[in-house]
Chain A
């Protein structure tokens, strides 16, 4: 029986889908069980955890501990920190290359993008970018990495082979987040102060559309696009609009905003569950996570987490 019990528990543990949320002010991660929509674990991290991402086999979780000036590598089963990676100063956001080995890290205070080899645990390149880099994206083929710089108001296109910037494109004020869309044919960049999301053609690197937002009864100054995510078919984008406390639903074909969903205060980033039927948004000021039903586009529940939740990642 003693032998049997762990075997019985194992499939359950493996099946439990989770959303991991970094709490910037609490120095913790809140783990939300997707089935019960409740916090099941709170895990200590380094100081000011922000960006969070899993390795492709989900055996490791990488956490930007910004004020500890490191990227922490954690065993998601035990919550133990396995080791720290050299990350450069103040790592805020990062992206894991499709090779599952190289992390591209935005160092906010140093105006640098650092490339770290997670296997040898060494910095293999530091690329000068604009002031206050934040948003990070990698193309599906892994050839291009994007860093957006908040103060320079640019998206920097980095060739991952030469590790050189090959182009810079201007975006609206304070770009926060970038994602490739349309199977890599488009790059979307949100501009927090500009209040827009710019869509670039990745071939020509020219802007092909700009999405604006307007919410009835909310002052335009409060509409500040930050994080966003696409549905599997890439037909729809969900855009977090910061202190407007709403998430916009954008048609990714027509670039029209179809709907606004009320969530908690200062909505920042988001993550889907594995079948993308539920979307979890981190609401910084209200310290909670709102769960949105993707099909009906209705908020289902808001779950209390730690103080100032920032990043979110799925662990299937």
Chain B
């Protein structure tokens, strides 16, 4: 029971924090919308040369990019969540949280769940705006995408968590942005299909193919068309488990990086 109380408290805290920071909510939506409305507009006619699953016919670029932008929301939110962990640590509220009698791994998983729920809310808001803009998916896709968003959210949240265990100061977060978020986003299938990457460079294609974010995006893309992409699901789950293990190790005071960093 106390486990659920902890989960409720942590999710509520994150949700309150999120809703009170209206600027953060708007910023989280503006970023993908700029990509959709400004960036994708220029490439409207550029795609449509080859049909790859789950698509069954030619599509415009703005339709292609939407699942990638859903992934972008989840990715940025995972990082934002890790940023707030660093902040919590600096402000001392982390210490308070970790003194709870509940196992540390559970407290960290609660944090992950909280950030994932918020990501899903943001994605649904974004999909609503995209629908108004004229980009819609099959009705079942909007339901099927929820588990995909949760799995992707947990995996990317675990990545943020693992990273945050190595960052001792808030200022270092800019480095995370440059060295983790951007390469992860650009070296994925979020903006271009993998076959398009292979046209320019096989190496780029191979890097994209092993990037767990690519698999998270493909899982979301298929789910939006009410289809399951089992390899993508498998890779996302595997990456999630490894990253979570790393995060838990990182936050273990006996062995983790936290101790060494003081």
- Chain A interface residues (CB < 8 Å from chain B): 216-218, 245, 262-265, 286, 290-291, 299-302
B45 part of interface (Cβ distance < 8 Å): yes
What string of 1s and 0s marks CB contacts (under 8 Å) between B25-55 and chain A?
A: 0000000000000000000110011010000
What string of 1s and 0s marks CB contacts (under 8 Å) between B46-72 and chain A?
A: 001101000011111000000000000
Report chain A residues within 8 Å CB of B58: 245, 262-264, 290, 299, 302
What string of 1s and 0s marks CB contacts (under 8 Å) between B218-237 and chain A?
A: 00000000000000000000
**Cβ of B44 to closest chain A Cβ, rounded Å:** 5
Partner of A299, one of B45, B49, B57: B57
Additional A-B contact list (12), CB under 8 Å, known A262-B60, A263-B58, A300-B56: A216-B44, A245-B48, A245-B58, A262-B58, A264-B58, A265-B49, A290-B57, A299-B57, A299-B58, A301-B57, A302-B56, A302-B58
Report chain A residues within 8 Å CB of B57: 262-263, 290-291, 299-302
**Cβ of B45 to closest chain A Cβ, rounded Å:** 5
Report chain B residues within 8 Å CB of A299: 57-58
Q: List 15 A-B contacts (CB under 8 A).
A: A216-B44, A217-B44, A217-B45, A218-B45, A245-B48, A262-B58, A263-B57, A263-B58, A265-B49, A290-B57, A290-B58, A291-B57, A300-B56, A301-B56, A301-B57
Q: How far apart are the CA atoms of A296 and B44 in the complex, in Å? A: 21
Report chain B residues within 8 Å CB of A245: 48, 58
**Cβ of A84 to closest chain B Cβ, rounded Å:** 37
Q: How far apart are the CA atoms of A154 and B159 in the complex, in Å? A: 68
Query: What is the count of residue pairs linking A and B with beta-carbon distances less than 8 angstroms?
Result: 29
Q: How far apart are the CA atoms of A217 and B40 in the complex, in Å? A: 12
Q: How far apart are the CA atoms of A127 and B59 in the complex, in Å? A: 45
Report chain B residues within 8 Å CB of A300: 56-57
Report chain B residues within 8 Å CB of A302: 51, 56-58
Q: How far apart are the CA atoms of A302 and B51 in the complex, in Å? A: 8
Q: Number of contacting residues on B, CB 8 A?
A: 10
Report chain A residues within 8 Å CB of B51: 302
Report chain B residues within 8 Å CB of A263: 57-58
Q: Is the CB of B59 within 8 A of A262?
A: yes
Q: How far apart are the CA atoms of A116 and B47 in the complex, in Å? A: 45
Q: How far apart are the CA atoms of A283 and B7 in the complex, in Å? A: 55
Report chain A residues within 8 Å CB of B44: 216-217
Q: Is the CB of B56 within 8 A of A262?
A: no
Report chain B residues within 8 Å CB of A265: 49
- Residue of B whose beta carbon sits closest to that of A283: B58
- Residue of B whose beta carbon sits closest to that of A263: B58
**Minimum-distance CB pairs A-B, first 8:** A302-B57, A301-B56, A299-B57, A217-B45, A217-B44, A262-B58, A301-B57, A302-B51
Report chain A residues within 8 Å CB of B59: 262
Report chain A residues within 8 Å CB of B48: 245, 262
Q: How far apart are the CA atoms of A259 and B48 in the complex, in Å? A: 18
**Cβ of B219 to closest chain A Cβ, rounded Å:** 23
- Residue of A whose beta carbon sits closest to that of B41: A217
Q: How far apart are the CA atoms of A16 and B122 in the complex, in Å? A: 47
**Cβ of B46 to closest chain A Cβ, rounded Å:** 9
**Cβ of A273 to closest chain B Cβ, rounded Å:** 17
Report chain B residues within 8 Å CB of A218: 45
Report chain A residues within 8 Å CB of B45: 217-218
* Interface hub of B44, B45, B48 (most chain A Cβ within 10 A): B45
Q: How far apart are the CA atoms of A88 and B76 in the complex, in Å? A: 68
Query: Which residues, 78 to 127 on B, are CB-close (under 8 Å) to A?
Result: none
**Cβ of B125 to closest chain A Cβ, rounded Å:** 25
Q: How far apart are the CA atoms of A34 and B67 in the complex, in Å? A: 31
- Residue of A whose beta carbon sits closest to that of B59: A262
Q: How far apart are the CA atoms of A290 and B59 in the complex, in Å? A: 12
Report chain A residues within 8 Å CB of B49: 265, 286
Q: How far apart are the CA atoms of A216 and B45 in the complex, in Å? A: 9
Q: How far apart are the CA atoms of A216 and B41 in the complex, in Å? A: 10
**Cβ of A64 to closest chain B Cβ, rounded Å:** 28
Report chain B residues within 8 Å CB of A262: 48, 57-60
Q: How far apart are the CA atoms of A262 and B49 in the complex, in Å? A: 12
- Residue of A whose beta carbon sits closest to that of B50: A286
Q: How far apart are the CA atoms of A301 and B54 in the complex, in Å? A: 11
- Residue of A whose beta carbon sits closest to that of B46: A217
**Cβ of A174 to closest chain B Cβ, rounded Å:** 23
Report chain B residues within 8 Å CB of A291: 57
**Cβ of A35 to closest chain B Cβ, rounded Å:** 16
Q: How far apart are the CA atoms of A218 and B48 in the complex, in Å? A: 13
**Cβ of A208 to closest chain B Cβ, rounded Å:** 33
**Cβ of B60 to closest chain A Cβ, rounded Å:** 6
Q: How far apart are the CA atoms of A290 and B60 in the complex, in Å? A: 15
Q: How far apart are the CA atoms of A218 and B46 in the complex, in Å? A: 10
- Residue of A whose beta carbon sits closest to that of B136: A298
- Residue of A whose beta carbon sits closest to that of B58: A262
**Cβ of A51 to closest chain B Cβ, rounded Å:** 26
Q: How far apart are the CA atoms of A300 and B51 in the complex, in Å? A: 12
- Residue of A whose beta carbon sits closest to that of B45: A217
* Interface hub of B44, B49, B51 (most chain A Cβ within 10 A): B51
